[in-house]
Amino acid sequence: MQNLLSDLVVVDLTRALSGPHAAMMLGDLGARVIKVETPDGGDDSRGWGPPFVEGESTYFLSANRNKESVTADLKSVEGKEFLSRLVQKADVLLENFRPGVLDRLGFSVERLHALNPRLVILSITGFGHDGPEGGRAGYDQIAQGEGGLMSITGEVEPTKTGVPIADLLAGMYGAYGVLAALHERNVTGLGRVVRTSLLASVVGVHAFHGTKWTVAGELPERVGNHHAQIAPYGMYRTKDDIVQVAVGSESQWRTFAPLVGLDASDERFATNPLRVAHRDELTAAIEAAFSVSPADEWLRGLAEAGIPAGKVRDFQQVYEWEQTISQGLLIDVEHPTLGSIQLPGPPLRFDDNPYAGARETNLPPPRLGEHDESVRAWLDE
């Protein structure tokens, strides 16, 4: 498993979240990721908090495992020389500057490929590198709004998701594009530029909401904690708590309906389109039945009947859940300041490795400039 991407060197010029997340994904798969930071504070997210623990931002810790940190002022002659040497030994370079910034620093695509024709370059922007608004700065919540995601989230008012999903998706799409370009390089011997943006990442996950508009001409609306096109599929109150139920087929509906005292052939609810049209009546009927018994009792009964259902857990409950732990979704690392800590782990497992990701030993998120000496010594080899 150590050989999955361990032959690759990745130069991470990114900061905040989208680019660091992409670089971390490659690091989780075994690549050597060298994060280049400004000497005066480093990645912006090192200062994002609270919370801070022993001066370390938990935000930064979330996106920078399995990396090394070096510092360089890319506006200086020394910094430019350092980056040039690094590029010559790299396989991948990631950047999420605003369009034109890297060019002004003297590292245009042409210059980077002159230094290393095999280099795969990932460029993540806010709204795209070209087009009438290509120069706009990109921030997650702005992209969620501009990309339509907030218009279908929430109940009364447009609502952002609880995590910076545009940033995270852009990182995921970016890493996916990098791997495709590396595969192509095996044939051509040449690198290429991979581009994505926060806007593209949001539009890319519109899924059935997108085709509802582009094909049917219907504008998607907010439906809160219920599925826009399937019913019953959502969150329901029981006697003591809430549960989530997903009835995703007509056969499941025929099983579920009697459990809540409904006739599956009721003319209001006999098909999914009818159930969606009469969602409020259906929800009221389900919650009337659910109100008789506690959530755990309903969850047991639904599981026995083969109806998908579950709890709404807080983060403490998620990370203490045996199923989460069994999937390798918590990793232990030794941090130079914090000592032994646990981090959320990589979401991939491979069949011949009991660990999540592709490494037996995960690196902690680095201190600023922690690897200045070792990386420069490596360049001198």
Residues designated catalytic: 167
CA distances from 182 to 18, 135, 178 (A): 20, 28, 6
> Which DSSP string corresponds to 15-30?
-SSHHHHHHHHHHHTT
CA distances from 77 to 159, 201, 373 (A): 46, 36, 19
- Residue partners of 276: CB distance under 8 A and separation at least 6: 229, 230, 231
* Coil, helix or strand at residue 302: helix
> Which DSSP string corresponds to 189-200?
S---EEEEEHHH
Joined together, the tokens standing for residue 45 give: 């997210």
The beta strands (E) that lie in 2-133 are given as 9-12, 32-37, 52-53, 56-57, 68-71, 92-95, 120-125
Phi-psi region of 233 (alpha: psi -120 to 50; beta: other; left: phi over 0): beta
Task: Write out the H or E segment, with its range, that includes residue 242.
Answer: strand 242-246
Tokens 């059935």 map to which residue? 208
| CA-angle at 39, arms to 36 and 41, nearest 5° | 100
Burial class (CB in 10 A: 0-12, 13-18, 19+), 380: exposed
Tokens 């370059």 map to which residue? 121
* Coil, helix or strand at residue 53: strand
Instruction: Provide the residue type at 95 as one letter.
Output: E
Task: Write out the H or E segment, with its range, that includes residue 366.
Answer: none
Task: Check if the beta carbon of residue 357 is closer than 8 Å to that of residue 29.
Answer: yes
d(CA 292, CA 209): 35
Beta bridge partners of 52: 57
- Residue partners of 305: CB distance under 8 A and separation at least 6: 255, 256, 259
